[in-house]
Structure 1
Amino acid sequence: MRRIFPFSIALMVCFITSLSMAQEASSMKVVLITLDGLRWQELFSGADPLLINHEEYVSDTTALKKRFWRDSPQERRELLFPFLWKEVSKMGQIHGNRHLGSKVDLTNTKWFSYPGYNEILSGKADDSRIDSNDKINNPNTTILEIANKDQRYKGKVAAFGSWDVFPYIINEERSGVPVNAGFELAIGNDLTAGEKFLNELQPTVPSPWSTVRLDAFTHNYALEHMKKNHPELVYIAYGETDDFAHEGHYDAYLKSANTTDSFIKTLWDFTQQDPFYKDHTVFIISTDHGRGAIDLKTWTGHGSKVKDAGSVWLILFGSGIKADGEVSTNEQLHSNQIAPTIAKILELQKISTAMVGKPLPIFKE
């Protein structure tokens, strides 16, 4: 028998280790993000010329216009979303500018949060069973649950949300997906210094709402978890934009949208510096519903009786995504295509047969 010398064994070990690391690094990761109730009008045109001058909705018009107002919609949207329009528009795709013929719509007819999130996450509307925002466990299986029950991704899925209904939307109990939402703290025996600080800080910072925490906590809990545990599918649901809009605070709505843009940039920059995520991660960003636009009074609300509240938008960028920029061709996309697209990216489509939507044709050939 041929003798294998220690040096040869060492080479073999190095080769196998390198091959294993390469195979692990080649697997795709997905970061799914939603901004609750953010209108397509602000995404594509920036500050609304009527609302920004409306004293009922803005406490200091002069200060707000200095920060977010310019004469052209293109300049205004870059002020509001600098990362999305200066960077993402060059490397990814932005769908939903209805002025250019690009339409993204909900298929559910409810046009409020729980039905919208169910559609995004399960790949289908369920108007007969998901017809309220009540805290009931979702009877549908989300893409998060599908991934978490696949041996390749088990324990590598996580969700973070500002709204305290997300544990029910994701059905944390049945799915096994860890959900940090509402005013929950980070748990575990290996908390990072950042998580410990957030756990101490969150109870001392009052939120304007009883069911929704400030997005800074959601964002930083998610970022700390990504740094420590490297989930391969992570969902982050920011909520402030919807709640500020409901209260008629257009200035706070704009400022929150602008802050969330910086949060998304921070997440993207982290994934491009971390070897686990770099060049193997796709970002998908959307919203659960639109809101009123025709009547100034309706911008604060949404639902089936509010015209335009079923009109949404969709952003994709990252590894393998075609750099189409702002889509200006006639198209009709739907929110129920998001989960099937994630299933395709993670190679889970064979076990996602309950989804109605079809994967988006967004990949480089």
Structure 2
Amino acid sequence: MKTLLKKSLFMVLLASLSMQAQQDKNPNVIVITLDGVRWQDVFTGIDTNLLHSDYTKDKDVLTEKYVGTSPEENRALLMPFFWNTIAKEGQLHGNRNKGSKVNLTNKMMFSYPGYNEILTGMADDINIDSNDKIYNENVTFLEMANNSEAYKGKVAGFGSWDVFPFIINDKRSGVPVNAGYMNATEDLNDREKFLNEMQRQAPVIWESVRLDVFTHHYAKEYMKKNHPKLVYISYGETDDFAHDGSFDFYIQSLQNTDSLIEDLWKYVQNDSFYKDNTYVIITTDHGRGEGVEKASKWTSHGLNVAGAEQTWMAILGPNVNATGEASNEQLYTSQIAPTVLKTLNMKIDTKKMPAKPFDLK
């Protein structure tokens, strides 16, 4: 009888391990957003008109670091990981100079509506018309995955902006979200304890947006410890520095974010759980103006700012067709959510997500 019981328990354990192994073979996806970063900065590098405007305090430092002999050199100086790695091993969409267009479908053209569109696959201009801390009634792909058998308990979100618990609706979705100046909780390692101690000892520039370096390392430590299969990370400094009219800090923050993404990719490529089975999609929640005039002011975005509807995407992963910089196409931000679900091998409800996913392969 004891032998039979042991055999039965052993078979149950094997079945459980087999199911877990099968689930872990499902792809991993990391979605990253850079708040309010223009396509022009990604594809042409530092804007020399803004460099020589009143928005820039130390023109000589930025010139020495980021100005080369061509837009191609400038962009590689500003975002080396994008142009030395993603451009060679993945895809970059949104260079309107080459006819590659990525557009929002929401008409608000500011953060909460933009993130809702990215995460849910649909614009909602009726219910989401402000950046107020209101719990999102729409269901994100994070919540959909967390409600699935394959990804339940393997989803997490991190953001520099303190509105993300509301956008993701952490109460209803059950998705753990660390955003704003929230501390890491539960079974903390030494590094997380250090981050909790340090994040408010560093300069608090905006009470609602913490520095991206903390968001980055909270996410990375959580990934090391828990190995979530679907992760959302939102870096936020760039938009706030732009609103403050500080082109110096906007540019330096963009360069730093590029290096943070490189750091995350190196970790992914050296962790056996993520290596060769992880897709990364990078985008922005909205564009912004091109210059100093009111109708297209660089510090601004929204319905009345020309160019605020223009966004971009970058894609990297094991089976991504390495086409590099795209041309002559039209993509929409709303396509990201169904693309994530398709990559996760999850069913797409076309009534809730009518936008067509794009093929990563």
Q: TM-score range by the shorter chain?
A: over 0.9
Q: Residue 294 of structure 1 contacts residue 307 of structure 1 at CA under 8 Å; is this kept in 2? A: no
Q: 1:270 aligns with which of 248, 267, 270?
A: 267
Q: Residue 338 of structure 2 contacts residue 348 of structure 2 at CA under 8 Å; is this kept in 1? A: no
- Mapped to 1, the partners of 2:218 and 2:108 lie a distance apart of 31
TM-aligned CA deviation for residue 19 of structure 1: 6.3
Corresponding residue number in structure 2 for 1:247: 244
Corresponding residue number in structure 1 for 2:154: 156
- Mapped to 2, the partners of 1:24 and 1:266 lie a distance apart of 26
- Mapped to 2, the partners of 1:291 and 1:245 lie a distance apart of 9
- Mapped to 1, the partners of 2:291 and 2:56 lie a distance apart of 19
TM-aligned CA deviation for residue 106 of structure 1: 0.1
Corresponding residue number in structure 1 for 2:326: 327
Q: Residue 146 of structure 1 contacts residue 351 of structure 1 at CA under 8 Å; is this kept in 2? A: no
| Match runs of 1:317-356 below 5 Å | 317-328=316-327, 330-351=328-349, 353-356=351-354
Corresponding residue number in structure 1 for 2:90: 92
1:236 maps onto 2:233 in alignment: yes
What's the Cα RMSD here? 2.3
Q: Residue 35 of structure 1 contacts residue 287 of structure 1 at CA under 8 Å; is this kept in 2? A: yes
Unaligned runs of at least 5 residues, structure 2? 1-10
Give the letter for the 2:255 counterpart: N
Q: Residue 146 of structure 1 contacts residue 352 of structure 1 at CA under 8 Å; is this kept in 2? A: no
- Mapped to 2, the partners of 1:353 and 1:280 lie a distance apart of 29
Q: Deviations over 1:68-123 (max 9, x none)?
A: 11120000000010001001111110000000000000000010000000000000
1:199 maps onto 2:199 in alignment: no
TM-aligned CA deviation for residue 303 of structure 1: 0.2
Q: Residue 161 of structure 1 contacts residue 218 of structure 1 at CA under 8 Å; is this kept in 2? A: yes
Q: Residue 290 of structure 1 contacts residue 311 of structure 1 at CA under 8 Å; is this kept in 2? A: yes
Q: Deviations over 1:46-81 (max 9, x none)?
A: 000101112x21111111110111120000000010
Q: 1:179 aligns with which of 177, 180, 183?
A: 177
Corresponding residue number in structure 1 for 2:40: 41
- Mapped to 2, the partners of 1:50 and 1:165 lie a distance apart of 33
% identical aligned pairs? 55
Count residues with an aligned counterpart: 355
Q: Residue 179 of structure 2 contacts residue 215 of structure 2 at CA under 8 Å; is this kept in 1? A: yes
Q: Deviations over 1:271-328 (max 9, x none)?
A: 1111110110000000000000154550000000000000000111102211010002
- Mapped to 2, the partners of 1:34 and 1:212 lie a distance apart of 14
Corresponding residue number in structure 2 for 1:131: 129
- Mapped to 1, the partners of 2:16 and 2:156 lie a distance apart of 27
- Mapped to 2, the partners of 1:302 and 1:122 lie a distance apart of 21
Q: Residue 51 of structure 1 contacts residue 296 of structure 1 at CA under 8 Å; is this kept in 2? A: no
Q: TM-score, normalised by structure 1?
A: 0.92
